[in-house]
Structure 1
Amino acid sequence: MTSPTISRRDVGLRSERGPILLAVMLSTGLVAIDSTILATAVPSVVGDLGGFTRFPWLFSVYVLATAVSVPIYGKVSDVLGRKPVMLLGIALFLVGSVLCGFAWSMGSLIVFRAVQGLGAGAVQPMGMTIVGDIYTLAERPKVQGYIASVWAMASLVGPTLGGVFADYASWRWIFFVNVPLGLAAAWMLVRRFDERVQRRRTSIDWAGALLLTGGGVLLLLGLLEGGQDWAWGSAPSLLIFAAAVVLLAGFVLVEARVSEPVLPLWVFRRRVLNASSLGSLLVGCVMLGLSSYVPLYAQHVLGHGAVVAGLALAGMTIGWPIAASQCGRLYLTIGFRLTVCLGAVITVAGSLLLLTVGPESSFAHLTLCCFVMGLGFGLTASPGVVAAQASVDWRSRGVATGANMFARSIGSAVGVAIFGAVANSYVADRLGGRVSSLDELPAGVLAPALHTVFIVSAAISGLLIIGALLMPRRVTEPAEPSEAAEAAASPA
């Protein structure tokens, strides 16, 4: 089959960047709001559809579908172009949203959430890749700050909007509201993003894609459900991890032989890509600890309401875009390594500050800790993505971005396993048996259990410094023919 070859000459610079950025922000907003809007409506969903014991899969299946599809979309975008993959992702997300809105049972809703996740797996990396295509190395941090601000707004709007729909309309509108936003983003991309590419002969690595998907699903399934639905050392757990290892080993063998691998093995041989992926994995792990347990601490230990408890994370989602928008000045001056090291140190400082929070602490104290850690995340994750993109040419940027975001998804799954095991182990030791829910525990037991989670989070944050030291000081962006001339002629 024939497919396009992507270069700076052909992508992005022929288009007006402002409307494209707005379309990327709208698309990112779909995914960002969807990740928070459903949580506050779970009681209404369960009350309508039933299936209380299965509702956690509404979140798990979404994470699974998103994570395993990210690297595949990244490779496909390097072959077919960013625009068609982004439009496919938006279409899948909207189809999944409409189907979720018409779901008739918990089982059907879980299946349709997987369709949404497959769409999100394209939208997230393509947004970052398009930004890397049309903005220079110096401009990208500021633009990524804009995109990060979308997540900040979503963390505030999502839970509130979900509660409003659940209380005053129907939980189904949580999904229907995605349709106008998605259509607007797709219309802007179709009208304003003029992506012109040259054709070349290529083949699609279907075997590698299937092996990566199967192995990734089993690995994430084992991490997400281990210690929850089955014990870590049980037969189902061991069987799932063994099957994941076999499939991923087969994937490595296939990728070493095919001409167009879906995830080229050279990705794992480049220092900058390994360093950025390690940082992304650790950020995903620590961020999961904040997102899952800080609101629980605010609500059940400090005694705040559900809405206020959710807003405790606003500090992180405000600090992240502030740091991300300013990190460009730093890495252009002191280099990537020192910038990421600074972010890692700030993250560690925030995690240590979080250890000072106790049952008598104020809400402002808890929010300040999240703000500091958000600053650290912004100075760690954002330069890591930029460095990964800058280290490769146009033909490999989708793969590099997808690998970085896949690492973050793996980190989140690992975080679920680690923090859940720590909290459950502490509670079980105190109460003399296994406990299925932390929400019903008294603060006298829950507070020290969550404090133990924060200790582990601080220890993992310390590993960020090691990852930061692996980052090269400078990253040289591969030049394309006529790049300077076309950049000078491009619209602002």
Structure 2
Amino acid sequence: MSGRPGLLSREYRGLVVGLLAIVTCSAFEAMAVTTAMPVVATDLGGEHGYGLAFSLFLTASLAATAAAGPWCDRAGPRPSLLMGLVLMTGGLVLAGGAWDFAAFTLGRMVSGAGTGFMIVPLYVIIGQTLPSALQPVLFSWFSAAWVVPSLVGPYVSGILAQHASWRWVFFGVAPIVVTAVVLTWPRVRGLGAPEATTIDPGEGRRRSLLGVILAVGVAAAQWAALSWGDPQARAAFPPVALGAVVLAGAAAATMTAPRLMPPGVARIARGLPAVMVTRGFMTLAFFGAEAFIPLMLVDRYGLEPSIAGLALTGGALGWTAGSFAQARGWLRKPTFLVLGSTVLAVGLALISGALSGALSPWLVAVAWVIAGAGMGLTVTTTSVLVLDLSDTADRGRNSASLQMADMLGGVIGTAGAGTLYSLLLTPERTPGPGVFSLLAGALAVSALLAAVAGARAGTTAAKPASSAGPAPAPSSETTSPTPEDRA
């Protein structure tokens, strides 16, 4: 073992640095954009569409993820990686140079699609270029790549938004993305399609189409719902038409989402389906709240964006602490799901109470650390349970379904919170009393539903012995780095 080259040997160094840079860029953008958004919305008049900037990013990423998996299986990682580079860079430039909030939201959608197309090939590249002994090490480095952006990204973004321009949050990331892809390209340009895949081509195309339909349906529903809360949009589109779009989008999502998940998700069947539902409700609650934490602190307490952004850092630290705590295995895995979901609900309830009573902003920050700890206790556990409850042949597909649950939960959380926020804005485009408290309280209910689902996540039968053993090398069906990679 000692004679084998390591990740930073000459053979792998450029590839590894490039892959880590791509993940770090994605992490920095996710944390930095959330901090800068209150300033962006004020500058571009986007109060009513605040949630769209987050939810449509995730929606576009969902569609790209569904399409990128079969594409990589068919043509290898290069085309998807290049498409992701073009879209992500173009979206960053468009968002940074946006002249109004509609253009900014479009830029976020393009960046989201680029993220989906770019992140998916990373797993294929790792499976094709790195020996199996080094793959787990690199995945642990991916987790660490989320930590630094979580610690410094919110503060740096807040400083830029306050003292320079929020536009540099986007312009500054674009050249780093290009550099990262350039570093990986010498090892990627010779890669073709994987030599063998367990994924049926027809099944891959079906999942890709279902993912795109799901994304389009969700995007249409959230646009129409948010437009309902915007007086200008209501004047341009009849309420009946907006309602019809909401219903059509919701129907498309309802018909397609269960087909991308294990059977039994709709009825929260015990075992794997319950794990998926738990993950979806957790991401709904956490990411729906995270998008609004800086806005709550800036608007409700008058804090500067750089200071408000530090609350996100606290959440990241709580997530890390929760992840380390669950790794010690002092409880059964399903119990961790119930405990973590309950802790998240408590954190969100504390935020709701603090905002309702106009208590100290430090209580909000501490409550967000608690919420992050709940995510740390739960999210990594759901990933482990998916592997435990899957046969070898189903691990890739079930991992992909877990990513869909992540993204769909994030989309519904941010879109739902954004719609509620938009509907409750005053005619002067300011949040009325109790808006943020109501928002946090509603999301706490989602966390409690996750606890209910988590209680059904235990296995009902022993897993076949044939499914034991190490997981196969990641394929394109194991989609993007998941939220547990953040800690």
* TM-score, shorter chain, exceeding 0.5: yes
- Show structure 2 runs of 5+ residues with no match: 474-487
Shift of 1:65: 0.9
Report matched runs for 1:219-258 at 5 Å. 219-226=218-225, 227-229=228-230, 234-244=239-249, 247=252
Shift of 1:373: 1.0
Q: Please state if 1:187 is matched with 2:183.
A: yes
TM-score with structure 1 setting the length: 0.71
Quick check: 76-85 or 365-374, which moved more?
76-85
Report matched runs for 1:307-456 at 5 Å. 307-330=306-329, 334-358=331-355, 359=357, 361-389=359-387, 391-392=389-390, 397-420=395-418, 435=427, 437-439=429-431, 441=432, 445=433, 448-456=434-442
Q: Counterpart of 2:66 in structure 1: which amino acid?
A: P
Shift of 1:382: 1.9
Distance 1:467 1:151, change over 3 A: farther
Shift of 1:407: 1.9
Tell me the equivalent position of 1:9.
Answer: none
Query: For 1:248 and 1:352, how far apart are their aligned partners in 2?
Result: 29
Do 1:74 and 1:402's aligned partners in 2 also have CA atoms closer than 8 Å? no
Query: For 1:98 and 1:239, how far apart are their aligned partners in 2?
Result: 34
Q: Equivalent residue of 2:301, what SS? A: coil
Query: For 1:481 and 1:303, how far apart are their aligned partners in 2?
Result: 51
Distance 1:462 1:400, change over 3 A: same
Pick the aligned partner of 1:177 from 164, 169, 173: 173
Do 1:320 and 1:375's aligned partners in 2 also have CA atoms closer than 8 Å? yes
Query: For 1:453 and 1:482, how far apart are their aligned partners in 2?
Result: 40
Q: Equivalent residue of 2:295, what SS? A: helix
Shift of 1:470: 2.4
Tell me the equivalent position of 2:89.
Answer: 94
Tell me the equivalent position of 2:22.
Answer: 27
Do 1:271 and 1:472's aligned partners in 2 also have CA atoms closer than 8 Å? yes
**Count of residue pairs brought into register by the alignment:** 445
Report matched runs for 1:79-158 at 5 Å. 85-86=80-81, 88-98=83-93, 110-124=105-119, 145-150=143-148, 152-153=150-151, 155-157=153-155
TM-score with structure 2 setting the length: 0.72
Q: Counterpart of 1:462 in structure 2: which amino acid?
A: L
Do 1:96 and 1:116's aligned partners in 2 also have CA atoms closer than 8 Å? yes
Distance 1:126 1:327, change over 3 A: farther
Distance 1:207 1:119, change over 3 A: same
Query: For 1:309 and 1:478, how far apart are their aligned partners in 2?
Result: 47
Do 1:275 and 1:468's aligned partners in 2 also have CA atoms closer than 8 Å? yes
Report matched runs for 1:2-13 at 5 Å. none
Tell me the equivalent position of 1:301.
Answer: 300
Q: Equivalent residue of 2:303, what SS? A: coil
Q: Counterpart of 2:84 in structure 1: which amino acid?
A: G
Shift of 1:303: 3.7
Query: For 1:383 and 1:141, how far apart are their aligned partners in 2?
Result: 16
Do 2:89 and 2:174's aligned partners in 1 also have CA atoms closer than 8 Å? yes
CA RMSD of aligned residues (A): 4.7
Query: For 1:86 and 1:309, how far apart are their aligned partners in 2?
Result: 35
Q: Counterpart of 1:406 in structure 2: which amino acid?
A: M
Tell me the equivalent position of 2:451.
Answer: 465
Q: Please state if 1:478 is matched with 2:467.
A: yes
Shift of 1:15: 8.4
Distance 1:128 1:305, change over 3 A: farther
In percent, how many aligned pairs have the same letter? 17
Query: For 1:392 and 1:244, how far apart are their aligned partners in 2?
Result: 31
Quick check: 100-109 or 275-284, which moved more?
100-109
Distance 1:463 1:251, change over 3 A: closer
**Deviations, residues 386-415 of structure 1 (Å, cap 9, x unaligned):** 332555477655543332232223223322
Q: Equivalent residue of 1:357, what SS? A: helix
- Show structure 1 runs of 5+ residues with no match: 1-13, 256-262, 429-433, 485-492
**Deviations, residues 147-174 of structure 1 (Å, cap 9, x unaligned):** 442552364255236427xx44782672
Shift of 1:369: 0.8
